[in-house]
Amino acid sequence: MLPASEQGRDDVTGLVYWLDMAGVIVFALSGVILACRSRMDPFGMLVLAAVTGIGGGTLRDLVLGVRPVFWVTDPAYLWVILATVGLSILGFHYIHRLSRGFLPVADAFGLALFTVIGAHKALMLEAPGVVAVLMGLLTGVAGGMVRDVLARRVPMVLRQEVYATASIAGGVVFVGLEALAAPLAVSFATGLVVTLGLRLSAIHWQLSLPVFAWVVVQPPATSQDPEGGEEEARGRSKARVKLIPPGRARRRRKAK
């Protein structure tokens, strides 16, 4: 009979597996929604659902040297994706009526789940802490990046939105708690809440990071001399990098 601590950890590991399945369903559903809005056929829906649901984990396993990757040894992931797409096609009218705010919220849940799951798997393979954080980030954002590229959209991770930052923060908290020998359930739940909380807060309050822009500063055409006359400005235009606050960047996008 296993000790209570080991049995509890095995129970949490089993819960991680089912949460991983839940993350695949959520990410696959986000791929289906984007495929519907991009007017793709059922095969396009299946492709977007698959790359979103298992793309990040596939790249993670390839980087960590896991052979074969997780969905080859456990085809249940593929059946879950097929079932998600099939049910979505049957309920197409309900999927089509979902508000545009549903996609980023569903994506946020998938991001949080895959971040801690990716970091946990890296630690199970005895990877260093910093590598585990990066593997959590890769698991959480890579599938969505491929999905957005196939749908001809700028990936959310490359925009100003707090997206990858939320994943990194959740991964750091999870790895830090694991380094302190905290119970796996506590580490998992805390990392999940941190990632999800930051991402949902960014969606609700439209939080974003500042951007750096290459701007050209033009000198004034004329300048006033002390005697009241005008003389030509001799300065030349200068190009420099300028930090644009998030609020001003949003106003510029709306103006365009």
- Report whether pLDDT(248) > 60: no
Confidence (pLDDT) at 12: 66
- Report whether pLDDT(2) > 50: no
Confidence (pLDDT) at 207: 84
Confidence (pLDDT) at 13: 73
Residues 42-99 have pLDDT tens digits of: 999 999 999 999 999 999 999 999 999 999 999 999 999 999 999 998 887 777 677 6
Confidence (pLDDT) at 216: 61
Confidence (pLDDT) at 117: 95
- Report whether pLDDT(37) > 70: yes
With cut-offs at 50, 70 and 90, classify the pLDDT of residue 156: confident
Q: Are 54 and 77 in contact (CB under 8 A)?
A: yes
Task: Write down the pTM of the prediction.
Answer: 0.82
Q: What is the 3-class SS of the chain, one letter each residue?
A: CCCHHHHHHHHHHHHHHHHHHHHHHHHHHHHHHHHHHCCCCHHHHHHHHHHHHHHHHHHHHHHHCCCCCHHHHCCHHHHHHHHHHHHHHHCHHHHHCCCCCHHHHHHHHHHHHHHHHHHHHHHHCCCCHHHHHHHHHHHHHHHHHHHHHHCCCCCHHHCCECCHHHHHHHHHHHHHHHHCCCCHHHHHHHHHHHHHHHHHHHHHHCCECCEEEEEEECCCCEEECCCCCEEECCCCCEEEEEEECHHHHHHHHHHC
Residue whose pair of structure tokens reads 């979902």 in the numeric block: 98
Residues 164-210 have pLDDT tens digits of: 999 999 999 999 999 999 998 899 999 999 999 999 999 999 888 77
Q: What length is written for the chain?
A: 256
Phi, psi of 3 (to 5 degrees): -60, 160
Judged on CB neighbours under 10 Å (0-12, 13-18, 19+), 243 is: exposed
- Report whether pLDDT(159) > 70: yes
Confidence (pLDDT) at 246: 67
Region of 181 on the Ramachandran plot (φ > 0 left; ψ -120 to 50 alpha; else beta)? left
Pairing of strands 230-232, 222-224: antiparallel
Mean pLDDT of all residues in 102-131: 93
- Report whether pLDDT(107) > 80: yes
Confidence (pLDDT) at 4: 46
- Report whether pLDDT(17) > 80: yes
Give the percent of the chain with pLDDT over 70: 77
- Candidate from 26-30, 87-91, 232-236, 241-245 with smallest mean pLDDT: 232-236
Confidence (pLDDT) at 104: 87
With cut-offs at 50, 70 and 90, classify the pLDDT of residue 106: confident
Query: How distant, in Å, are the alpha carbons of 17, 57, 102, 109, 135 from that of 117?
Result: 9, 9, 23, 12, 9
Domain ranges of the chain: 4-205, 212-255
